[in-house]
């Protein structure tokens, strides 16, 4: 029986590229593994897979009775709906420790670095398995995406060294140029329905018993949102009601100005002020220097709920 | 501010030796660390520390505001009472994934092997730090204890190779003889109050909302319990009431016959039959081949509660 290697719901490039890279590694060390995904590819991820010649992993949402290796999260809200009926054999991640639990011993490769693929590179090194050229390429792109080409405060020297090593394996001379190409693909939001944009990189969290959804859109220039901001605001309001959420936050991140405009709807008018020391006006506030949901948004919000 | 490296409540040799070994490693890689413990040393652990010339780690139960590296568990019930007020910076473990969560990214070195010290050896290798002779000695003893000198079904080839490597560093030629010496110390139960014996290696679990305590005593010959079994049975009854527990199990493990007599008190008369396919008579049942709480007792019980 093969194990399925799968990232979080609404998969980002780290989840998809990580599933492919880890499934390959597991197969090389004699453990049958199949890469899977819980949702559609984002335009960025589709660009990466096409660039290095990969098909999308198998779309699979039910894992009852299966062995599963979890990539890029440890939160029940982000895992397959029936994960409690599966056997989790491992977790590779770089986030806070979430509320997934298991009945049996497992392996966890979790490190406070910028990207799960940096940890997967450590796994390749541990097992002394050579990384194929095209897998090195997608791993490198995942790290450039998660670290916002090293600009994110989540980026560590381990991530930078890892990208350098992978770029050499993949034969990419100017990896920063490839990173910018990726973020240009990500910035092309025109013509996309508001709901698709809000859900493109959206994660739900259980914060002290409250369901909180946090989306993020990283672009090269925030002006791409000028014409559709009202639609985005209306959509997060709808999303809050539909999902019975306590709050929905949407980060519009400008990777060149290095900050985020936060759009928010919440049952608690004081929440954002408690978390970030700033009060939204008309449900909007600029958070200077904020690039990372994981490091600069989630922990502060979690503390505000405690 | 140093981090504290601390194992579980009612520490066993893996928790104590692991805290010492990991604190040393962290100090070597430039992260200030202090080994700590949540309870008294067992006679076995005292024997190991004396054999290799170590003092007991600092006794410390409160960690509010501190940085903590957790050893040998990931369960809230086994962690410091105020762990929610501490920052967990890492976890090294070899059990199922428990219900500890964090607000911030951390490192987790969790592997399905026989002992946390086997994982700590991997950490030494990763950081390329040489293991001092006396630290190799206590790490080796912890692995021999947790794997019942390789007899436990939890023992993996990684554990065996690790003991062999550590024995060479420590300069111990006959490590199995040292292991038997350790288990003889463990088997000397005469004159010890029943409560002290029951609590010597006792862990609480949250099983689907029910508090379940499971103790284990590993000896070379079960006849050492003949004179005190009635007292042990009375004591687990008392412990169940005192702690408002759903069930208390006590495993009397014969490491030579390779099986355990299970003493049990429970609110659910069918629980043991559902979990292990055997019905206790007068609160007692022999479980042939059962040596490991982690692998042969906890998962089955967890499933019986699901």
**pLDDT of A214:** 97
Kindly state whether residues A149 and A258 are assigned to the same domain. Answer: no
Q: Do B302 and A106 touch (CB under 8 A)?
A: no
List the alpha helices (DSSP H) in chain B: 13-28, 43-52, 116-127, 133-146, 157-170, 175-187, 194-198, 229-242, 271-276, 298-305
> Of B142, B166, B184, which residue sits at a domain end?
B184
Kindly state whether residues B82 and B177 are assigned to the same domain. Answer: yes
Can you give the CATH number for the domain in which B268 is found? 3.10.310.20
Kindly state whether residues B102 and B209 are assigned to the same domain. Answer: no
Chain A contact for B108, CB < 8 A?
Answer: yes
User: For residue A245, is it within any domain?
Assistant: yes
Kindly state whether residues B161 and B230 are assigned to the same domain. Answer: no
Smallest CA–CA distance, residue A152 to chain B, in Å, is 15
Q: Do B103 and A303 touch (CB under 8 A)?
A: yes
Question: What's the CA gap between A232 and A75, in Å, rounded?
Answer: 26
User: For residue B189, is it within any domain?
Assistant: no
Residues 6 or more apart whose Cβ sits within 8 Å of residue A128: none
Q: Pairing mode, if any, of strands B67-71 and B3-6? A: parallel
Q: Do A88 and B107 touch (CB under 8 A)?
A: no
Q: How far is CA A108 from the centre of its chain?
A: 18
Tell me the mean pLDDT per 10 residues along chain B, length 306: 96 98 98 98 97 98 98 97 97 97 96 98 98 98 97 96 98 97 92 94 94 96 94 97 97 96 97 97 96 94 93
Query: Residues of B with CB below 8 A from A108's CB?
Result: 91, 97, 108-110
| CA-based nearest residue to A232, from A254, A208, A199 | A199
**Do the beta carbons of residue B224 and residue B187 sit within 8 Å?**
yes
Q: Is A159 exposed, middle or buried (0-12, 13-18, 19+ CB in 10 A)?
A: buried
**pLDDT of A42:** 94
Kindly state whether residues B179 and B226 are assigned to the same domain. Answer: no
**pLDDT of A1:** 87
- Closest-CA residue of chain A to B107: A111
Kindly state whether residues B180 and B199 are assigned to the same domain. Answer: no
Kindly state whether residues B63 and B99 are assigned to the same domain. Answer: yes
H/E element, B2: none
> Of A184, A205, A228, which residue sits at a domain end?
A184
User: For residue B170, is it within any domain?
Assistant: yes
Q: Do A110 and B107 touch (CB under 8 A)?
A: yes
Kindly state whether residues A114 and A241 are assigned to the same domain. Answer: no
> Of A154, A184, A214, which residue sits at a domain end?
A184
Q: Do A299 and B104 touch (CB under 8 A)?
A: yes
User: For residue A189, is it within any domain?
Assistant: no
Can you give the CATH number for the domain in which B151 is found? 3.90.1640.10
Query: How many domains does chain A fold into?
Result: 2
Kindly state whether residues A35 and A131 are assigned to the same domain. Answer: yes
Q: Do A106 and B112 touch (CB under 8 A)?
A: yes
Question: What's the CA gap between A264 and A268, in Å, rounded?
Answer: 11
Instruction: Look up the domain containing B142 and give its range.
Output: 3-184
Tell me which residues of chain A have a pLDDT lower than 50.
none
| CA-based nearest residue to B159, from B123, B115, B108, B94 | B115
Kindly state whether residues B76 and B145 are assigned to the same domain. Answer: yes
Backbone angles phi, psi at B191, to 5 degrees: 85, -5
Query: Residues of A with CB below 8 A from B295's CB?
Result: 104-105
Chain A contact for B289, CB < 8 A?
Answer: no
Nearest to A108 among B97, B101, B102 (CB): B97
Nearest to A112 among B97, B106, B294 (CB): B106
- Closest-CA residue of chain B to A299: B103
**pLDDT of B1:** 87
Nearest to A107 among B98, B110, B295 (CB): B110
H/E element, A223: none
User: For residue B243, is it within any domain?
Assistant: yes
Kindly state whether residues A157 and A218 are assigned to the same domain. Answer: no
Torsion, CA A103, CA A109, CA A114, CA A120, rounded to 10: -120
Kindly state whether residues B176 and B105 are assigned to the same domain. Answer: yes
User: For residue B76, is it within any domain?
Assistant: yes
Question: What's the CA gap between B17 and B135, in Å, rounded?
Answer: 8
């Amino acid at each position: 029986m093969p194990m399925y290697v799968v990232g979080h719901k609404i998969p980002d490039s780290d989840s998809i590229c990580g599933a492919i890279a880890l499934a390959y590694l597991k197969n090389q060390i004699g453990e049958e593994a199949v890469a899977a995904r819980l949702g559609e590819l984002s335009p960025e991820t589709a660009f990466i897979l096409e660039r290095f010649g990969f098909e999308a992993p198998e779309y699979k949402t039910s894992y009852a009775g299966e062995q599963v290796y979890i990539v890029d999260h440890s939160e029940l809200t982000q895992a397959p709906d029936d994960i409690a009926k599966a056997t989790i054999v491992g977790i590779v991640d770089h986030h806070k420790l979430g509320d997934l639990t298991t009945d049996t011993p497992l392996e966890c490769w979790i490190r406070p670095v910028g990207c799960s693929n940096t940890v997967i590179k450590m796994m390749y090194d541990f097992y002394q398995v050579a990384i194929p050229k095209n897998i090195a390429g997608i791993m490198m792109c995942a790290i450039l995406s998660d670290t916002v080409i090293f600009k994110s405060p989540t980026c560590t020297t381990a991530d930078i060294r890892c990208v350098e090593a992978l770029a050499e394996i993949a034969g990419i001379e100017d990896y920063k140029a490839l990173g910018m190409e990726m973020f240009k693909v990500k910035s092309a939001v025109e013509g996309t329905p508001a709901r698709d944009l809000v859900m493109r990189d959206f994660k739900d969290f259980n914060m002290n018993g409250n369901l909180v959804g946090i989306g993020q859109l990283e672009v090269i220039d925030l002006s791409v949102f000028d014409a559709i901001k009202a639609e985005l605001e209306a959509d997060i309001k709808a999303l809050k009601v539909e999902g019975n959420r306590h709050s929905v936050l949407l980060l519009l991140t400008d990777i060149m100005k290095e900050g985020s405009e936060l759009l928010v709807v919440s049952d608690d008018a004081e929440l954002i002020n408690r978390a970030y020391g700033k009060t939204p006006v008309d449900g909007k506030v600029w958070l200077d220097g904020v690039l990372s949901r994981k490091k600069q948004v989630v922990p502060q919000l979690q503390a505000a709920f405690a």
